[in-house]
Amino acid sequence: MHRSEAMAHSLHIFIFVEEGGCMRKGGSVAHSAMAAQLLPASEIAAFIDSQTIDDILAPWLPDVGERAMIVRCLLDVGPAHHRGSNYVLLRLLGLLLKQHGMGPNSQQLREMAPIRLRVPPTVDTTSEPAAYPLGIPTAVIERLAPHGSRAWLAMIDCLSDGPPQHSLANAAMLLVLDALLRTNERTT
């Protein structure tokens, strides 16, 4: 990078920080420039521990094969930053879950909106499942909108749409959040 490009880059970061951008205000230009650099995918893959996420999901997905497929979708598919984000967020939620000693309830396991598999039109789907074994828990969405309302349906659609590393992460995080919200209600 030429000196003028480096100065322009530093100035851009400084202006971004000064204008209240996503980076911490008052951060040094050197720190901000370091944060703007992309890490290789191998650095992200190095901190991902699939077994930890498998353990978090086990109470909701008792079938080992189904759970392994969901964990692969969350941590092995898609861009590295999605895989890393899924791991970090689920791991932190799992720590809270463990701290509160919570797990699924029977209502959570019964009331899930399906996350549909996206298959090419040339694939025969009559002999294969049409949805992932993990769905969107619907009861937790009822905290935000009445069951079956247009808003509730739109929320379910937003959460279940998209590639599996997004929709399945949404479902997994909602399961944990629902368990945590139930815990909080019991203690208050």
Return the pLDDT at 103: 73
Pairwise pLDDT comparison (153 vs 184), residue with the higher score? 153
Return the pLDDT at 105: 67
- Is the pLDDT reported for residue 137 higher than 70? yes
Please report, rounded to a whole number, the percentage of residues in the chain having pLDDT higher than 70: 74
pLDDT band of 36, cuts 50, 70, 90 = low
For the chain, domain boundaries? 1-37, 42-187
Please report, rounded to a whole number, the percentage of residues in the chain having pLDDT higher than 90: 50
For 72-82, letters b (16+ CB in 10 Å) and e give ebbbeebebeb
Mean pLDDT of 148-153: 97
- Record the pTM: 0.76
